[in-house]
A and B are shown apart, each in its own frame.
Chain A
Amino acid sequence: MMVPMARDLAIDLGTANTLVYMKGRGIVLNEPSVIALNRQTGEVLATGREAWQMIGRTPGYIVAVRPLRGGAITDFEITERMIRLLLQRVGVSRFTRPKVVICVPSAITEVERRAVTDAARRAGAADANLIEQPMAAAIGADLPIDEPVGNMVIDIGGGTSETAVISLGGIVALEAVRVGSFDIDAAIQNYVRREHGIAIGERTAEEIKVAIGSADPTPDENQAEVRGRDLMTGLPKTVILTPEEVRYAIEDVVSSIVASVIRCLSKAPPELSQDFLVRGMYLVGGGGLLRGLAERIERETEVPVKMSNVPLEAVVLGAGHVIEHYEALKGMFMGARR
């Protein structure tokens, strides 16, 4: 009897979203990196979109968590279970042993890396390797990283922001911080609580960010009606939030993201930094979609910023390209040369 062979996989294990690319097929899964557990028994109750819908709306015995939230693995066991379930859902078992390439935030430690590859192997992967997220992003965003020129990519995710300079298929400079779009949500939550006296959940804060948030003044700005719980009376209450208020609320987070881009620029060798002036820097990641952010980075660095046309998929497409050319590109795996 023929044993079914699974196709090789590339996985973008993001702090906010997980994407899976199957060799020869393309993207086969795209959903939030969330898992819902029974607090008492530890059973997994839901993953992905279903679990995401539970955030902030669960009874006491259920907890919906993002295991990679801060760009670090806070709970190895939960992360391992998430990886296993993910691989199961795309058809991996002990009988179909695909090769797997996984993108992780570059800030994760050696121990965390091993935890991820071990989890994938235990779930049935014949071989599991990691590649740096900004490298995958640069491949996916179609930057000419095969040439000896300075390519700069800025990836702003939920829990992390990573900026890298890449030339000739290798990382020349890297700056990764554990600050991202989730911190913008948290800043909005704090502001509304402090200034308007109402409590809102993280999903409402995210909606406000996407609807009216901005890093720099933009034309045609709107106000938003925000519903939450009045901290004094405990009753539902609606307040109006202006775009200026939101900009003020998130300013600290935005400026620390911009500062990390500037630090990366200053680490680049001079020969490569002149290339940026001509070629610009490429912005990817959901956090990069914040209104006015590209303009803001451009204004502060005086380097043109271009938005990738696949901001949310660039990383998994880049990793997918590596899985398509596995033999030729296996030298790019984390730890392959060191």
Chain B
Amino acid sequence: MPVVVGAIVVLLALAAFFVLAARRRGHPSDDIDSFRRQIDALSPEARRQTSERMKPSDGRSTDDDGANGT
């Protein structure tokens, strides 16, 4: 029994180590992701949503109002 518990502890420690290592190495790809997200948020499709919200100028947009949290 103690052998099994020991093995589990060692495995957990190894797993934690790999997760941390992967995180550290994963940094550049995080940067790539956030750059992609930024560029996507500036795309014409993303901007169309903002400008569509502008059209009903009295502020009574039918569908997406309120969906954005109050």
The complex places the Cα of A146 from the Cα of B38 at a distance, in Å, of 9
Q: For residues 12 through 51 of chain B, which have their beta carbon under 8 Å from a beta carbon of chain A?
A: 34-35, 37-44, 46-47, 49-51
Given A321-B47, A321-B50, A324-B50, do A24 and B41 touch, yes or no (CB 8 Å)? no
Contacts of B41 in A (CB 8 A): 325, 328-329
Q: Is A26 an interface residue (CB 8 A)?
A: yes
Q: In the bound complex, do residue A23 and residue B68 qualify as a contact, i.e. CB atoms below 8 Å apart?
A: yes
Given A169-B39, A169-B42, A329-B38, do A139 and B59 touch, yes or no (CB 8 Å)? no
Count how many chain B residues have C-beta atoms less than 8 Å from C-beta atoms of the other chain.
Answer: 26
Quick one: closest A residue to B58, CB to CB?
A26
- Among the listed A24, A139, A328, which residue makes an inter-chain contact with B37, where contact means beta carbons less than 8 Å apart? A328
Q: For residues 128 through 145 of chain A, which have their beta carbon under 8 Å from a beta carbon of chain B?
A: 139, 142, 144-145
The complex places the Cα of A26 from the Cα of B50 at a distance, in Å, of 8
Q: For residues 287 through 338 of chain A, which have their beta carbon under 8 Å from a beta carbon of chain B?
A: 317, 320-321, 324-325, 327-329, 331-332
Q: Is A45 an interface residue (CB 8 A)?
A: no
- Among the listed A4, A7, A24, A142, which residue makes an inter-chain contact with B53, where contact means beta carbons less than 8 Å apart? A24
Interface size class of A (residues with CB under 8 A): 20 to 34
Q: In the bound complex, do residue B50 and residue A146 qualify as a contact, i.e. CB atoms below 8 Å apart?
A: no
CB distance from B41 to the nearest CB of A (A): 4
- Among the listed B42, B43, B68, which residue makes an inter-chain contact with A24, where contact means beta carbons less than 8 Å apart? B68
The complex places the Cα of A27 from the Cα of B57 at a distance, in Å, of 8
Given A320-B50, A321-B50, do A144 and B68 touch, yes or no (CB 8 Å)? no
Q: In the bound complex, do residue A317 and residue B68 qualify as a contact, i.e. CB atoms below 8 Å apart?
A: no
Q: For residues 1 through 24 of chain A, which have their beta carbon under 8 Å from a beta carbon of chain B?
A: 4-5, 7, 23-24
The complex places the Cα of A212 from the Cα of B41 at a distance, in Å, of 42
Q: Is A239 an interface residue (CB 8 A)?
A: no
CB distance from A133 to the nearest CB of B (A): 16
- Mark contacts of A119-163 with chain B using CB atoms, 8 A cut-off: 1 yes-contact digit, 0 otherwise: 000000000000000000001001011100000000000000000
The complex places the Cα of A107 from the Cα of B32 at a distance, in Å, of 31
The complex places the Cα of A327 from the Cα of B54 at a distance, in Å, of 21
Q: Is B66 an interface residue (CB 8 A)?
A: yes
Q: Is A168 an interface residue (CB 8 A)?
A: yes
Contacts of B47 in A (CB 8 A): 139, 142, 321
- Mark contacts of B50-70 with chain A using CB atoms, 8 A cut-off: 1 yes-contact digit, 0 otherwise: 110110010100001111111
The complex places the Cα of A263 from the Cα of B65 at a distance, in Å, of 44
Q: In the bound complex, do residue B38 and residue A317 qualify as a contact, i.e. CB atoms below 8 Å apart?
A: no
Contacts of A142 in B (CB 8 A): 44, 47, 51
Quick one: closest A residue to B37, CB to CB?
A328
Q: In the bound complex, do residue A317 and residue B54 qualify as a contact, i.e. CB atoms below 8 Å apart?
A: yes
The complex places the Cα of A332 from the Cα of B41 at a distance, in Å, of 11
Instruction: Point out residues on B near A: beta carbons under 8 Å.
Output: 34-35, 37-44, 46-47, 49-51, 53-54, 57, 59, 64-70
Q: Which 7 A-B pairs have the closest CB atoms?
A: A24-B68, A328-B41, A325-B41, A146-B42, A328-B37, A321-B50, A146-B43
24 A–B contact pairs at CB < 8 A?
A5-B69, A23-B68, A25-B59, A25-B65, A26-B57, A28-B59, A142-B51, A145-B42, A146-B40, A146-B43, A169-B39, A169-B42, A317-B54, A324-B49, A324-B50, A324-B53, A324-B68, A325-B46, A328-B37, A328-B38, A328-B41, A329-B38, A329-B41, A331-B34
| Extra inter-chain contacts (11) besides given A7-B70, A146-B43, A328-B40, CB under 8 Å | A23-B68, A24-B67, A24-B68, A24-B69, A28-B59, A146-B40, A169-B39, A320-B50, A329-B42, A331-B34, A332-B38
